[in-house]
Chain A
Amino acid sequence: MNAPSPALVAPRPERLRLVGQRRQMLAVMHQRLMFGMLVYAGIVGLIAVRILWLAAFGDHAGRKEGLTSLVPDRGDIVDREGQPLARTIDAWTIAVHPRKIIGDRLEIARRLAELMPERTEEQYFALLRSNKPFFYLRRRASPGLVEAVNALGEPGLAIEREPDRLYPQTSLASHVLGFTDIDGHGAAGVERAFDKYLSDPATRGKPLQLSISSRIQQALEHELGDALTTFSAIGAAGVVMDVHTGEVLAMTSLPSINPNTPGQGTPEAHFNRATLGVFELGSTFKPFTVAMAMDSDVIKSVGQIYNCPHAFPVYGHVIHDTHPMGRPCTVAEIMMESSNIGTAQIADQLGTARQKAWLKKMGFLDKVEIELRERGRALNPGSRWGPFETMTIGFGQGIAVAPLQLAMGYATLFDGGVYHPPTILKRGPDNPLPAGRRVFSEDTSYRMRALLRLVVTKGTGKKADAPGYRIGGKTGTAQKLINGRYSQTVNITSFAGVFPMDDPRYVIVVMLDEPKATKDTYGFTTAGWNVAPVVSRTVGRIAPMLGVAPNMNREPNMGEVMPFVHETKE
């Protein structure tokens, strides 16, 4: 107890003041210290909590994200059976950073010219000496070349992997698939139409399934390609479609491109004749005219008689027939012999207003409905649509539609008269079948079966018949419009067929642009000689794949039309 008690020693006022100040200072210091400690403890606590949190729920340092799931850089495209049609692979690229080169540039240029002879030694040397920071030497290089370039040991040569679009089936269905540009974005076809789906990280993991069947596509392309070369045509198009669902099973346009090297194709080859091209398809239109007339009660029976002279002068023009009958003929015979004169009269009875309304209902006055962006707009006479144009449209001249549209029309006619928009995607949970809209009555649809089968069994389409598969259809030979005048020698031939006719399931439309006559066709260039055999061969190949069993004993009800066919002439 040696501390002086405040009572004994009189406090000096300055000292008292000092003690008071010190206390105050101490209090402030304590406060500050406490604050600092709290902050420190808070930070430490935060870190500790974070560490504990990470330990309990966090990822560890070695985790490699992205590899736990295989999501390609761009979605796959597969056909209806799941076969890949387009895939993204890691391709090798060889590039060069001229500034980073440390070796002898001349020597490197010499070696590069040996390995990649598309440029000369001088060009390589100029590139290596240039001041550019970077350029590609080769994209999509083969592994052997990559190995050889790597063996040069030059750090300025960059060998990298980059995603690249590969089409394993090369030119198969090239116009449907389209291709991608150098940045990996769709530039045509499905690649362009579904670019968002294919490149979106959320959806690209799931392949895009098309309604195309590669085997059917191959059969169609091969047979059509054969005809293209045989008849020296400048182009061809073909469509196979499911009548009931509107799925496009095969669609081709020739000449085609190889989407792996799209730059090499000519503009002609890039043109999609099946959806973008519109053509006057001629007599393949006649069944629609007859069906319209049946539904409008203009034709009450296929035995209805029309006058079919050798030539039919009307509205200042003369209509001719390729198979002139020169006698009264029934509706069945008009279809069988593909009579323009007869059909023109039916169309005339139908009238312009009703014809327009029907064509509108069938979608022949608008763009073809399909997911692809390459869609052509159908052409029609527009304001000049008078009674004569009604007649010509009746037999397929004066209206231009895409082959896919024609297939769609036949699908409508034979699906009980119900229109379903065509689709390039497989029908399923993601692409359900929409409710169709009725165009023709079911009765008309049924009665047309026998009429079209008659064309193949006895009429102009005999060569389209494939025994047992009950093909029904209509040939079409249209004169091509060249410089505003219809050519007498240059044709577009087409065939629109449906099989099996006793219970229609598939439509096939085939078209040849400017086929030439050959020895085997005896100088004819009409559809019955060049495209009809294509249909026969194609259906013979694809029908078993589609599950259509051949049956020689089944036919549509031919009793409806046979009594009205005049056969004694032959």
Chain B
Amino acid sequence: MSGRSFHSLFMVASCAGAALGCYLVSLRVASERAALEAVETKIVLAQRDLRVLQTEIGTRGRLAQLERWNVKVLALSAPGANQFLDGGFALAKLTRPDQKVDFQAPVVLASAPAPAPKAAPIGAPDTDEAGAPTAQSPRALIHEASLKTETREVPVKPVAEMPQTTVAKSTDRPVTAAKPVTKKSADKPGLAAAKTIEKKSVDKPLTIAAKPVTKPVRLAKNDPLAPLSEQHSHSTSKDPSPAR
């Protein structure tokens, strides 16, 4: 038997094989499609459930029901015309009441012109350009702000004694000074406020005078180990002095 007689058989077999292969691919595609459709069906079923639940919620929370609750219990009403604001500016205007602090401020404002001349020399070099006056005024105001706290409690002296170097530390002092004052007032309730103020004014210049002078001197001179003990001793020595 020659190969030629099997030729047709081979042809048939190969055709069948090819057809089977194609069919398998098609089957695979069909199964994938079925899986996809199963997912799609699931999605649709989920959507249907969503719809049912949404309908139920919508029915239970219907507007007529909400209105009934509002009439019986909540008693909310529509906002009046005066409850609407035009925008951010109108909203900002509502926060006005916080400015009550300004009642004490007039004293501060009175002292404001005093530091102004100090600020002037600082601002002076900037005035080379055209917009000089506008550049000066905000800076001057910033300096006034830091000075206000001094002038409120210590009227005249600090300005006179310590012109510019003490400005940065001025914030620390009132805190240290304030604590002893309260102690005093607790110890001697009968005393008038005026006396404590006098004592404050006496104490503060002392501390003001001590701190700026002593600190730089000691830190520069002594060894790293020695000043620690000395500082402790100084701090203890400082404490009694305001206590007096």
Contacts and interface: CB of A to CB of B under 8 A. Distances in A.
Nearest to A89: B55
Contacts of B64: 169-172, 218
A55 B26 contact: yes
Interface string B39-59: 011001101100110110011
Interface in A459-475: 466-469
Interface in B30-81: 30, 33-34, 37, 40-41, 44-45, 47-48, 51-52, 54-55, 58-59, 62-64, 67, 78-81
B27 interface: yes
Nearest to B66: A218
Given A55-B26, A67-B45, A215-B63, A468 B81 contact: yes
A68 interface: yes
B63 A218 contact: yes
B44 A68 contact: yes
Interface stretch (A58-66, A126-134, A289-297, A395-403): A58-66
Contacts of B40: 67-68
A553 B145 CA distance: 40
Contact of B63 (A55, A68, A89, A214): A214
A215 B70 CA distance: 14
A68 B37 contact: yes
Contacts of A60: 30, 33-34
A469 B79 CA distance: 12
Nearest to A537: B78
Contact of A64 (B23, B26, B41, B51): B41
B83 to A, nearest CB: 9
Contact of B27 (A55, A89, A222): A55
Given A70-B44, A550-B81, A222 B55 contact: no
A540 B80 CA distance: 7
A218 B70 CA distance: 13
A264 interface: no
Interface residues of B, number: 30
A394 B66 CA distance: 44
Chain B interface, DSSP helix/strand/loop, else mixed = helix
A540 B26 contact: no
A222 B52 CA distance: 28
B27 A172 contact: no
B84 interface: yes
Given A67-B41, A552-B81, A169 B55 contact: no
Given A70-B48, A540-B78, A541-B78, A62 B34 contact: yes
B27 A467 contact: no
Contact of A544 (B51, B62, B78): B78
Interface in A204-233: 214-215, 218, 222
Contacts of B62: 168-170, 172
B41 A68 contact: yes
A322 interface: no
A63 B37 contact: yes
B162 to A, nearest CB: 55
A2 interface: no
A301 to B, nearest CB: 33
Contacts of A171: 64
A222 B67 contact: yes
A168 B55 contact: yes
Given A63-B37, A171-B64, A540-B78, A70 B55 contact: no
Contacts of A550: 80-82, 84
A115 to B, nearest CB: 23
A540 B190 CA distance: 62
A446 to B, nearest CB: 25
Contacts of B37: 63-64, 68
A413 interface: no
Contacts of B27: 55
A544 B79 CA distance: 9
A87 interface: yes
A69 interface: yes
B67 A218 contact: yes
B44 A466 contact: no
A123 interface: no
Contacts of A56: 26
Interface in A57-91: 60, 62-64, 67-70, 83-84, 87, 89
Contacts of A540: 78, 80-81
A84 B86 CA distance: 34
23 contacts: A55-B23, A55-B26, A55-B27, A63-B37, A64-B37, A67-B41, A68-B41, A70-B44, A70-B47, A83-B58, A84-B55, A89-B52, A166-B55, A166-B59, A168-B58, A171-B64, A172-B63, A172-B64, A215-B63, A222-B67, A467-B80, A468-B82, A552-B81
List 5 A-B pairs, minimum CB-CB distance, nearest first: A468-B81, A550-B81, A218-B63, A168-B58, A168-B59
Given A55-B27, A64-B41, A87-B55, 9 more contacts: A62-B34, A168-B62, A218-B67, A466-B81, A467-B80, A469-B81, A549-B84, A550-B81, A550-B84
Interface of B: 23, 26-27, 30, 33-34, 37, 40-41, 44-45, 47-48, 51-52, 54-55, 58-59, 62-64, 67, 78-82, 84, 86
Interface of A: 55-56, 60, 62-64, 67-70, 83-84, 87, 89, 166, 168-172, 214-215, 218, 222, 466-469, 540-541, 544, 549-552
